[in-house]
């Protein structure tokens, strides 16, 4: 009887440690994230499942911590997951274009940061050849799309844009993101499953079951194997 109890206790302790470790890792180190929309095409596609480094932007209070720990500040060009300022319960993923104090201006789709043209052709995707002026007579989804600013990024904030510049809901429309809303930097596509654009949340258990059933039935045919384990740049 004591042997059975001992084995049960060992399994229970191992399971408990695994749960604690997984919870710690998800909270402080790594988080999985699925790309739900086409705002980052062609760099990240709908259905890409990525890993996010949550540790890299962690606070460091001393010079020794900054020297020993693999942390850094957000840089221009980083692909970052953050809480959506207008609905913090939702996570967004975009590319950092502006740092605190930067002046952002877009003229006919060309981005300037502090007066310098941003060389972003290796990751920017322009799906629409039309150029819309900044005009109050245009719908708000077009008003600031191609001509924007100048806008100075407030202290403690960052300016983000999607790589799919003509189809991205980003800082051009709702402003800069507070530093404490930033969750981490995307670093790896670990699996990619071809799917149509989906709602951010599938409501209820029925929706989750429908999603799982769809994945299982098309796993081998719709997995984009060539995208697996690609580094996010």
Helix (H, G, I), strand (E, B) or coil at 109: coil
Asked about 4 being catalytic, the answer comes back as no
Active-site residue identified among 54, 94, 168, 195: 94
The token pair that represents 165 in the structure block: 């510049």
**Residue 14 and residue 22 in contact, taking contact as beta carbons nearer than 8 Å:** no
The alpha carbon of residue 189 and the mean position of all alpha carbons in its chain are separated, in whole angstroms, by 12
Rounded Cα distance between 141 and 166, Å, is 10
Cα separation, 132 vs 142, in Å, equals 7
Residue positions counted in the chain: 233
Residue 114, Cβ neighbours under 10 Å: how many?
Answer: 13
| Nearest alpha carbon to residue 83 among 178, 168, 198, 169 | 178
Q: Three-class SS string for 182-203?
A: EEEEEEEEEEEECCCCCCCCCC
| Catalytic residue from among 39, 168, 192, 195 | 39
141 is catalytic: no
Site of tokens 């258990």: 205
Count of C-beta atoms within a 10 Å radius of residue 171: 25
Query: What are the residue numbers of the active site?
Result: 39, 94
């Amino acid at each position: 009887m004591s042997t059975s109890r001992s084995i049960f206790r060992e399994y229970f302790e191992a399971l408990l440690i695994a749960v604690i470790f997984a919870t710690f890792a998800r909270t402080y180190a790594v988080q999985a994230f699925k790309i739900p929309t086409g705002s980052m095409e062609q760099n990240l596609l709908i259905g890409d499942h990525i890993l996010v480094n949550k540790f890299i932007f962690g606070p460091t209070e001393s010079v020794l911590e900054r020297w020993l720990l693999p942390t850094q500040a957000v840089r221009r060009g980083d692909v970052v997951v953050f809480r959506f300022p207008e609905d913090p319960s939702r996570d967004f993923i975009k590319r950092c274009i502006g740092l605190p104090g930067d002046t952002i201006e877009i003229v006919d789709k060309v981005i300037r940061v502090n007066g310098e043209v941003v060389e972003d052709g290796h990751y920017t995707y322009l799906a629409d050849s039309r150029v819309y002026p900044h005009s109050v007579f245009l719908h708000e989804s077009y008003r600031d799309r191609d001509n924007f600013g100048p806008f100075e990024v407030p202290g403690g904030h960052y300016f983000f844009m999607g790589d799919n510049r003509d189809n991205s809901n980003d800082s051009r429309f709702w402003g800069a993101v507070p530093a404490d809303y930033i969750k981490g930097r995307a670093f790896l596509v670990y699996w990619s499953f071809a799917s149509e654009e989906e709602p951010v949340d599938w409501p209820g258990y029925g929706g989750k079951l429908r999603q799982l059933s769809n994945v299982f039935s098309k796993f081998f045919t719709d997995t984009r194997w060539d995208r697996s384990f690609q580094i996010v740049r």
